[in-house]
Structures are given as structure tokens and as C-alpha cells.
Structure 1
Amino acid sequence: MARLLTFIVVVLLLGIGFAWLADRPGDLLVTFGGMQYKVTLMVAASAIVAVVAAVMLTWWAIKSLVASPYALRRHFRARKRDRGYQSLSTGLIAAGAGDGPTALRMVKQAEKLLNVDQEPLIKLLDAQAAMLEGRADDARAKFEAMLDDPETKLLGLRGLYLEAQRLGARDASRHYAEEAAQLAPNVEWATSAALGQKTTHGDWDGALALLEKQKAGKQIDKDQVKRERAALLTAKAIHLFDADPVSARPIALEANKLAPDLIPAAIIAAKVLFQQNELRKGSKILEYVWKKQPHPDVAETFVHARLGDSAIDRLKRARHLAALYPHHPESNLAIANAALAAGELREAREAAEAVLRSAPRESAYLLLADIEEAQTGDQGRVRQWLSRAVKAPRDPAWTADGYVSDQWAPASPVTGKLNAFEWKVPVEQLGPVIDYQREFDEAMAETPAASAPPREDVKPLIPPRIEGSGNAAPKVSRDDADVVDAEIVQLQPTPRPDEDTASKTQPVEKTAKMPPSPDKPQKDAELVIPVPDDPGVRPEYQEERPNKKFRLF
């Protein structure tokens, strides 16, 4: 565009100049060789312009003629380079699509058309083609050859890292990742793998130093760096807490300052403060994180903050913590656990039942089994709560990259990414839809009053043992030693053929045929013996057992 404007301006100036000369007539007199030549100014100006143009045209022709061999060679070289890059592009596409033979053929073409030493992509394509054809040793050798060139060293480390991961050589893969992280701290895959290696071996100082190098690269978010540093400091403080709590104090407080909403950081900071009798300061830290996200470990630490407290005092602390986030399932569970330990079984049952009404979960059913054991001792009801716990949704847990852990960790054991664990319900395969609210209502209808003691005057119903056959009246005997499941004995007539067929579609319970009685009209009758969910046992056969907590696994 600039050249076009320059040309237009030059032509415009020439036109203006010739117009100016045309408006001012005159003659030009030239004496040369004893002869005088007289021409007009217009003719003289035109001749000068023509001579200059002829000289320029002659110079361009001579220059083009002299440079033509070089230009011809450059043309063919550019054409060859374009064909080589076209082969390289086709080969990379074929390698990405998994077409090994095409990729290998394109490698050979690219090697003929391009300089291998000046084009690193040929080495990469050659290694990928070897991997697609299953030549792992050749691919590894080609990646190792890339380590000698500073331009391709990082690429070679990446290839060796992926190959080691494919073969399951974790130590080798993390070695290559650590070397790549030293070479380029801003590369995420290398830094994550190296940090995972250092956190696995408890090298917290080395991990923090590597994180500082990554921060110096200015390639990641500053808030993310703060949270990752807080995660490493939290893990270091947890590691030092049992052996040296005094040294763990500044580390834990710094971690909590960098990420106040990080639950493990708040817990370890509160623990070091509680151990040094700073109850109020530690409680404030836990109350803050509880308002952000209630967590059972926070409740456990808060309730047992002070050694020597009675069970009633711990219950009061649980009520205070639950008041900060009322109606949350974790708040109700904290009250239920503390009330059970304090012997307040009515309050414990009410809190656990509130959890089932809002968000049914496995721990609530297990807690109700503990409460049932302590309150009534009815082993049938206890087993019923345990059976419901098996079908209940799982409780939240620390989850990272599909890995579920009971304890928090600073990095993912799968990818090595820092601060990857999240407190959430683990992802499970979807099963049949269960109406937990209906099951809970049915269980509440069958549950005796919370304050009612176990009834010893009610004996479990024993099904009759029918003896005899034919038309004789049955002899029904009850053996106290045989305790089996039954609740109701009911006679139901068999539907007649002229009755509504809709009744035939109703579910039929387990029945036992009764022989006809000689004193009454013979009618088809059935003895219906429904089987309850839990049989229970006789109170006199129950042994006194200590208060214990039930766990599924």
C-alpha cells in the first residue's frame, strides 16, 4: 500500500512539473563541439526523463541477468521446502490420527526434502511413527537423542515421560518430569509431576522451592500460587505437629493466613493453638471455616478443643457450633454425636432424624443404629438401621481425580496436582431410584417412642407349626425354642372368578394353605404370614452388651 501511494505521488509531481513548464515557454541553448543546439524547455525535460528511465531499465535488466542463476536456485529450493513441509504436515496429521504407515512414509519424504538438523519436527514425527508401530525401543532412543539439542531437550523429556508412564515406570516418569521442571518451571505437566514426587517423599522444602520457581515464571495466577503454597505448608505442619508442635505453629498459621477457607489448614492451626491453651483464637478460626463449609473434622476438633471437658460441655460446644450454620446436615450430625456421648439420647435421635429428612446418608443411619443400641437395646431395630445404611447414599469424602481418601492430602496421587482434593460425595454408578423419604417415614412409624423403655411384656409372635393332614382339624403347637419371623396372622378368601380381574394383579404375600374345618363350611382360605424386615429377638434372650458404634466396613 505504501509503495502504491509513493508511485501515485511521484506521477502527480511529474505531471505538475510538466504543466508548470508548459505554462512558461522558453528555449534551451546548448553549445557542443562548435555547434549550437536550441530546444524548448519541454523537449529538454522530456529528454532528461527518458534518459533516466532508460538507464534504470538497463540497470535492472543487467542485474536480473546476473542474479538469475541464484533466483532460479532459490525458486527450486523454496519449492522443495514447501513440499517438505507439506509432507511433514501430512505426517503429523497421520500420527495424530493413528495412521502409522502413512506417518512413516511422510517421515522419509520429509527427510529427503528438508534438513533434519534444522527441523526438529522431523525427529518428533519419526519418534511418534515408531511408537505407533510398536517400536518402543526405537522411540525411546529417538527421544533420548533429542536431549543433546537444547532446542529439543524439553520435547525429548516430555516424550520419555509419557513413554515411562505408559510402561508404568512411575519413578522414571517422575525423574524426567523433575528434570523438565528444573529446565522450564512454568510447564504445568512437569511441575505437577515433580511436586507430586516431592510430596510423596515428604520433601516439603523442595516442593516449596519448586513452587517459588514456578511463581517467578509469572505464568500462573497469584491466587492459585497462594492456595498451593498453603496446601504444602499445611502438609508440613501436619507432619511436624506430633513431633514438634512449637515448630509447627508458625507454619500452620501462615497456611491459614494464605487460605483461610482451606479446611485442613484451619484444623491444624486450631490444633496447635489449642495445645498452647489459646482456646479462643483457635475457636475463631474453626468458626470462620465452619460458616464457609461445615465439615465433620472441624466439628470434631471444635468439640474436643479443651482437654478435661465433660460430655455435657462438649455437647454445649456442639450446639454453639451448629447455631452458626443451622439446619445443615453436618450441624445436626455434630449435635447427634455429642448428645449420644453425653447420654442425651432423645436429642441425639431427633438430630439424626433431621438429617434423614433433609439429606439421607450412610452415617446418619449408622448413628441411629448406635442410638437404638444405647436406648432400647432392640437388636432387630439395630439391624434394620444397619440394613438401611447399606442402601443409603455415601457420605462426602476427600476426592481427587476419581481417588477417594479418608484423609486429606496436599497433592493428587494420580496426577500430582497440588490442592486437588475436594470434599464432595464420590461419584458412583447410578443404581435404582430409592425413595429414602418413604423408607424413613415407614421406619419412623415402626419405631417406638424415643422416651419409651424396651417392653418386656411383648413376646415375639411365633408362627404355628401345622401338623396332620386330610380333613382332620390341624394341631397347632408353639415351641418357645423356635423363634422365627412373623407379625400378623390373617385369613383372606380366594377371589372368585366373577370378581374384578384388577385384584388379581395385586402382589400376593407368602401364604400357607389351611385344611378345611369339619365344623364350618368348606371355603378356600389362606394363612397369611407376612415376614417383617427384621425379626428381632426375645428380651430375655438379649445379652447385655457395652455401648458400641457400628460401622459397615
Structure 2
Amino acid sequence: MFRLLIFAVLVLALGYGFSWLADRPGDLSLVWGGELYQTKLIVAAAILIALIAAAMVVWWFIRLIWTSPQSVTRYFRARKRDRGYQALSTGLIAAGAGNALLARKMAARTRGLIRADQEPLINLLEAQAALIEGKHDEARQKFELMANDPETRELGLRGLYLEAKRLGAHEAARQYAEKAADKAPYLPWAAQATMEYRSQAGDWDEAIKLLDQQKIARVIDKDTANRQRAVLLTARANDKLEGDPSGARDDALAALKLSPDFVPAALTAAKALFREDKVRKAASILEQVWKTGANPEIGKAYVRARSGDSVGDRLKRAERLESIRPNNVEALLITAKAALDARDFAKARAKAEAAARIDAREGAFLLLADIEEAETGDQGRVRHWMAQALRAPRDPAWVADGFISDKWLPLSPITSRLDAFEWKAPFGQLEGPVEEGTAVSVDAALRSLPPVREAVSATTATKSASPTVASPAAGASVIELEQIVTRPAPAASAAKFEPAKEPEPRPFFGGAPDDPGVKDPKFEPEPKTRLKLF
């Protein structure tokens, strides 16, 4: 565009010059060799311009002849280079597609057309072909060559890191990742791997330093950087909790500033404040996190904030949590547990049933079983609630990569991924309504709950433990097990041993052997209305 503009300006200048000369006619006289040459001024200008143009054409032709050998050499060299890059491109595509034979062929052709010191991608093509063929030693040699070249150092280090990971050489992989992270902290894979290795070793300071470098290089966004920094600070606070409570408190509070709803940071901060006898501040922190998201660990720490509190005081603290988040499953369950400890069975049962109606899950039914065990001791009702718990969805827990942990961890024990643990139901939740998890099933479970049975005395329990089944010839009826268990206990005065009475003889009415005789309704056996056990 700039050249076109210059050309237009020159054409306009020439036109303006010729028009200016045409408006000012005149003659040009030249005496040369004793001869007088005279012509018009505009003709003389045209001849001058034509001579200049002719000189330029002659100079271009002479220059073209003079530089023709170099031009021809450069042409063939460029053509050879283009063929080499075409072969290199075809080889890389073949390597990506898994065609090792074509990749090897194109690599050999590329080496014949382009020198390896001029194009380092030839080593990459040969390394990829070796990996496809399973020649890992050759591939590592190519990656080492690339690692020694400043232009391909990062690519070579990544290849060596992946090979070390494949062989299980974690120490070598760590060294390659740290070297790449030191040279180029903007590499996501190197920084992430180095951070994971430093976190596994418990070197939280170096991990935080590397995270800051990533944030400055803008490798990760601000929100992700704040979240990971909160995780690292919480992990460092957990390590300091026993020996340095004040340091643990500072790190946990700094993590809460970065991520206000981070439950592990709130728990660590509260524990550190409890050790410093700052119960009120710790309770305030727990209440703030409880408002953002109800977590049973927050509720448990809040209810048991003071070790010397009575069960009544704990119940009041649980009711305060419930008032902060009413109609919440976790709040109802915490209140029900506190009421159970306080022996307030009516309130415990009401809260547990309300929680089961909102979210019918395993913990709610297990709590109902505990309430039944403590209040009535009826094993039939306890087994009823246990059966409901077996069919109900599981309670949320700390889950990372399919691993369930009883406490939060900064790294996944499966993949060593940072901030992998989530508070959710294990193994996911089924989509759509689940028959066992609806409020209708809870109501049905309450309707099908067996009535409370009376206590069974020791004498009855001994008799029911070893029942005696009489033979049919003796005329004794079969006793059902259910009736033995539910039979009320005899009074203390009637607990004495009484000998069994002889059966009253049945009269014979003197008929013939084949005559059944007259049947007396008095001695007619009772109709069978139940099934026999044997």
C-alpha cells in the first residue's frame, strides 16, 4: 500500500511538471562541436527523462546478468528447503496419526534436504517415531539432544519428564519439572508438577513462592491463584497447629480472606483460637462460614467449642445454629444429635424425622436407630431403621478421585492433584427421583414401624431361646417364634414352676373298626389358622 502511494505521487509529479512546461513555451539551444542544436523545452525534458529510464533499464539488465549465478543457486536452495519442510510437515502429521513407517520415511527424507542443526524439529519427528515404535531409549536420546539446545530446551525437558513418569522414576521426573519451572515458570505443566512435588514433601513455602511466580506470569487467573493459595496456607496451618498455634491462626485467617467459604481453613482457625482460649472469636468465624454453607464439621466444632459445657448447653448451641439456617438438613441433624445426648428423645426424634423428610439419607436413618436404641431398646424397631439406612443414599463426605477420606487433605492420594477434595456424596448421586430417598418413603417407613414391644423377662427369654416342639402324637400344637418373643412377661407371683397336666382322655363311642363313631364337638380340634415352623 505504501509503495502504491509513492508511485501515484511520482506519476502526479511528472504530470504536473509536463503541464507546467507546456504552459511556459520556450526554446533550448545547445552549441556542441561547433554545431548549434535548438529544440523546444518540453521536447528536451521528454528526451532527458527517456534517457534516464533507458539507463535504468540497462543497469537492471547488467545487474541481472551479473547476479544470475547466485539467483539460480538461491532458487534451487529454496526449492530444496521447501521440499524438506513439506516432508517434515508430512512426517509430523504421520507421527500424530500413529503411522511410524511413514514418519520414519519422512524423517530420513527431511535429513537429506535440511540439516538437523538448522531445523531442530527433525529430532522431534524422530523422537515421536521412536515412541510409536516402542524404542524409548532412542526417544530419550533425542529428548536429551533437544534439552541441550536452547531453542528446544522446554520441549526436551517435557519429553524427559513424561518418560520418567512412565518408568515410575518420580525423583527424575521431579528434577526435570523443577528445572523446567526454574527456566520457564510460565509453563503450566512444569509449575503444576513442581507444586505437587513440593506439596507432597510438605515444602509449603516453596510451593507458595512458585504459585506467586505463576500469578505474576499470568499463567493462571486470579481466582484460581487465590483458591490454591488458600489451600496451601491451610495445609501449612495444619502442620503448625500443634507446635505454633498463633502461626496456624494467621495462616488460616489469611486463607479465609482469600476464600471466605473455605471450610478447612475455618476449622483450622477455630482450633487454633480454641487453643488460645479465644472461644468467642472462633465461634464468630464458624458462624460466618456456617451462613455461607452448612457443613457438619463446622456444626460439630461449634457445638463442642467449650469442653466443659453440659449436654444442655450443647443443645442450646445446636439450636442457635438451626436458627441461623432453619429447615437445613445438617442443622436439624446436629440438633437431633445434641438432643439425643441430652436425653430429650422427643425433640431428637422430631428433628431427625424432619431431616429425613428433607433429605432421606443414611445418616438420618442411623440417627433414628440410635434414638430408638436409647429410648426404647426395641431391637425390632432399631433393625427397621437400619434397613432403611441400607437403602438410603450415602451422606456427603470428603471425596477426591473416588477416594473417601474422613478428613480434608490438600492433595489427592490417588493423583496428587492440589485442591482435589470436595464435600459431596460418594460415588455421585442418581439423577431423578429415587424411591427410597423421597419423603413418601420416609412416611411409609414411619407407618410400617413396628409397635414398641414389652420387655421380655429372663424366664421367658430362656424358654424362647430353646423351644420344644412336641410330636403330633402327643397332641401338642406348634408354637410360633413370633408369639414367643411378643408374649408378655408373667407376673412375679406366677413365675413358679407348675407341672404339666395330663391330657384329658378322649372317649370311645364303641363303633365298628371302620365306623368313625359319633363326633363330639367338644373334642373337635381347632382349625389351623397359621403356618407351622416345622
Q: TM-score range by the shorter chain?
A: 0.7 to 0.9
Deviation at 1:399, TM superposition (A): 2.7
AA aligned to 1:434 is E
Would the alpha carbon gap of residues 355 and 185 (structure 1) be closer, same or farther in structure 2, given more than 3 Å must change? same
**1:446 aligned onto 2:445:** no
| Corresponding residue SS for 1:404 | strand
AA aligned to 1:440 is V
Would the alpha carbon gap of residues 429 and 106 (structure 1) be closer, same or farther in structure 2, given more than 3 Å must change? farther
AA aligned to 1:304 is R
Instruction: Give the Cα–Cα distance (whole angstroms) in 2 for the partners of residues 467 and 69 of structure 1.
Output: 125
| Corresponding residue SS for 1:343 | coil
Instruction: Give the Cα–Cα distance (whole angstroms) in 2 for the partners of residues 240 and 348 of structure 1.
Output: 38
- Which residue of 2 is the match for residue 242 of structure 1? 242
Instruction: Give the Cα–Cα distance (whole angstroms) in 2 for the partners of residues 435 and 429 of structure 1.
Output: 13
AA aligned to 1:59 is W
Deviation at 1:68, TM superposition (A): 1.8
Q: Is the 1:397–1:424 Cα contact (8 Å) retained in structure 2?
A: yes
- Which residue of 2 is the match for residue 329 of structure 1? 329
Would the alpha carbon gap of residues 86 and 63 (structure 1) be closer, same or farther in structure 2, given more than 3 Å must change? same
Moved more, 32-41 or 369-378: 369-378
Instruction: Give the Cα–Cα distance (whole angstroms) in 2 for the partners of residues 199 and 54 of structure 1.
Output: 78
Question: Could you list the per-position Cα deviations for residues 67-121 of structure 1 after superposition, in whole angstroms to 9, with x for gaps in the alignment?
Answer: 2222222222222222222222222222222222222222222222222123222
- Which residue of 2 is the match for residue 494 of structure 1? none
Instruction: Give the Cα–Cα distance (whole angstroms) in 2 for the partners of residues 528 and 86 of structure 1.
Output: 91
Would the alpha carbon gap of residues 228 and 70 (structure 1) be closer, same or farther in structure 2, given more than 3 Å must change? same
Instruction: Give the Cα–Cα distance (whole angstroms) in 2 for the partners of residues 173 and 262 of structure 1.
Output: 32
Question: Could you list the per-position Cα deviations for residues 495-530 of structure 1 after superposition, in whole angstroms to 9, with x for gaps in the alignment?
Answer: xxxxxxxxxxxxxxxxxxxxxxx999xxxx997879
- Which residue of 2 is the match for residue 77 of structure 1? 77
AA aligned to 1:24 is R
Question: Could you list the per-position Cα deviations for residues 107-141 of structure 1 after superposition, in whole angstroms to 9, with x for gaps in the alignment?
Answer: 22222222212322221221111111111121122
- Which residue of 1 is the match for residue 111 of structure 2? 111
Deviation at 1:234, TM superposition (A): 0.8
Gapped regions of structure 1 (runs ≥ 5): 486-517, 532-553
Question: Could you list the per-position Cα deviations for residues 7-65 of structure 1 after superposition, in whole angstroms to 9, with x for gaps in the alignment?
Answer: 22222222222222223221100011111100111210110010000011111111122
Deviation at 1:230, TM superposition (A): 1.7
AA aligned to 1:455 is E
Deviation at 1:261, TM superposition (A): 1.5
Q: Is the 2:87–2:109 Cα contact (8 Å) retained in structure 1?
A: yes
Q: Is the 1:192–1:416 Cα contact (8 Å) retained in structure 2?
A: no
Would the alpha carbon gap of residues 442 and 414 (structure 1) be closer, same or farther in structure 2, given more than 3 Å must change? same
- Which residue of 2 is the match for residue 319 of structure 1? 319
Deviation at 1:158, TM superposition (A): 0.9
| Corresponding residue SS for 1:116 | coil
For the aligned residue pairs, the C-alpha RMSD in angstroms reads 3.3
- Which residue of 2 is the match for residue 182 of structure 1? 182
- Which residue of 2 is the match for residue 122 of structure 1? 122
- Which residue of 2 is the match for residue 434 of structure 1? 435
AA aligned to 2:479 is R
Would the alpha carbon gap of residues 456 and 13 (structure 1) be closer, same or farther in structure 2, given more than 3 Å must change? same
Deviation at 1:476, TM superposition (A): 3.4
Deviation at 1:247, TM superposition (A): 3.3
Question: Could you list the per-position Cα deviations for residues 237-266 of structure 1 after superposition, in whole angstroms to 9, with x for gaps in the alignment?
Answer: 111212332332222222223322211111
Instruction: Give the Cα–Cα distance (whole angstroms) in 1 for the partners of residues 530 and 13 of structure 2.
Output: 117
Instruction: Give the Cα–Cα distance (whole angstroms) in 2 for the partners of residues 144 and 7 of structure 1.
Output: 54
- Which residue of 1 is the match for residue 147 of structure 2? 147
- Which residue of 1 is the match for residue 299 of structure 2? 299
AA aligned to 2:157 is L
- Which residue of 1 is the match for residue 350 of structure 2? 350
Deviation at 1:401, TM superposition (A): 3.9
- Which residue of 2 is the match for residue 233 of structure 1? 233
Instruction: Give the Cα–Cα distance (whole angstroms) in 1 for the partners of residues 373 and 177 of structure 2.
Output: 54
Q: Is the 1:195–1:417 Cα contact (8 Å) retained in structure 2?
A: no
AA aligned to 2:454 is R
Instruction: Give the Cα–Cα distance (whole angstroms) in 2 for the partners of residues 71 and 106 of structure 1.
Output: 28
AA aligned to 2:437 is Y
TM-score when normalising by structure 1: 0.80
| Corresponding residue SS for 2:150 | coil
AA aligned to 2:166 is R
Q: Is the 2:384–2:449 Cα contact (8 Å) retained in structure 1?
A: no
**What does 1:457-468 correspond to in 2, within 5 Å?**
none
Q: Is the 1:154–1:180 Cα contact (8 Å) retained in structure 2?
A: yes
**1:47 aligned onto 2:71:** no
AA aligned to 2:142 is K
**Per residue, is there more helix in 1 or in 2?**
2
Would the alpha carbon gap of residues 162 and 86 (structure 1) be closer, same or farther in structure 2, given more than 3 Å must change? same
**What does 1:181-260 correspond to in 2, within 5 Å?**
181-260=181-260
| Corresponding residue SS for 1:151 | helix
| Corresponding residue SS for 2:29 | strand
- Which residue of 1 is the match for residue 513 of structure 2? none
**1:455 aligned onto 2:454:** yes
Instruction: Give the Cα–Cα distance (whole angstroms) in 1 for the partners of residues 101 and 69 of structure 2.
Output: 39
Instruction: Give the Cα–Cα distance (whole angstroms) in 2 for the partners of residues 113 and 519 of structure 1.
Output: 121
Would the alpha carbon gap of residues 466 and 129 (structure 1) be closer, same or farther in structure 2, given more than 3 Å must change? farther
Instruction: Give the Cα–Cα distance (whole angstroms) in 1 for the partners of residues 53 and 240 of structure 2.
Output: 89
**1:371 aligned onto 2:362:** no
Instruction: Give the Cα–Cα distance (whole angstroms) in 2 for the partners of residues 191 and 79 of structure 1.
Output: 42
Question: Could you list the per-position Cα deviations for residues 255-284 of structure 1 after superposition, in whole angstroms to 9, with x for gaps in the alignment?
Answer: 223322211111111111122121221111
| Corresponding residue SS for 2:151 | coil
Instruction: Give the Cα–Cα distance (whole angstroms) in 2 for the partners of residues 309 and 360 of structure 1.
Output: 31
Deviation at 1:414, TM superposition (A): 4.4
AA aligned to 1:476 is S
**What does 1:9-20 correspond to in 2, within 5 Å?**
9-20=9-20
Q: Is the 1:174–1:193 Cα contact (8 Å) retained in structure 2?
A: yes
Question: Could you list the per-position Cα deviations for residues 468-501 of structure 1 after superposition, in whole angstroms to 9, with x for gaps in the alignment?
Answer: 6xxx9x973216699799xxxxxxxxxxxxxxxx
| Corresponding residue SS for 1:147 | helix
Instruction: Give the Cα–Cα distance (whole angstroms) in 2 for the partners of residues 393 and 479 of structure 1.
Output: 36
Instruction: Give the Cα–Cα distance (whole angstroms) in 2 for the partners of residues 427 and 70 of structure 1.
Output: 72
- Which residue of 1 is the match for residue 66 of structure 2? 66
- Which residue of 2 is the match for residue 478 of structure 1? 479
Number of aligned positions between the proteins? 489
Q: Is the 2:392–2:436 Cα contact (8 Å) retained in structure 1?
A: no
| Corresponding residue SS for 1:39 | strand
Would the alpha carbon gap of residues 53 and 178 (structure 1) be closer, same or farther in structure 2, given more than 3 Å must change? same
Higher relative contact order (CA 8 A, sep 6+): 1
Deviation at 1:345, TM superposition (A): 1.8
Which structure's CA Rg is the greater one? 2
Instruction: Give the Cα–Cα distance (whole angstroms) in 2 for the partners of residues 464 and 344 of structure 1.
Output: 43
Instruction: Give the Cα–Cα distance (whole angstroms) in 2 for the partners of residues 372 and 321 of structure 1.
Output: 25
AA aligned to 1:423 is W
AA aligned to 1:439 is S
Would the alpha carbon gap of residues 388 and 480 (structure 1) be closer, same or farther in structure 2, given more than 3 Å must change? closer
Would the alpha carbon gap of residues 529 and 298 (structure 1) be closer, same or farther in structure 2, given more than 3 Å must change? farther
- Which residue of 1 is the match for residue 287 of structure 2? 287
Instruction: Give the Cα–Cα distance (whole angstroms) in 1 for the partners of residues 426 and 362 of structure 2.
Output: 13
Moved more, 419-428 or 104-113: 419-428
Would the alpha carbon gap of residues 201 and 109 (structure 1) be closer, same or farther in structure 2, given more than 3 Å must change? same
Deviation at 1:443, TM superposition (A): 1.2
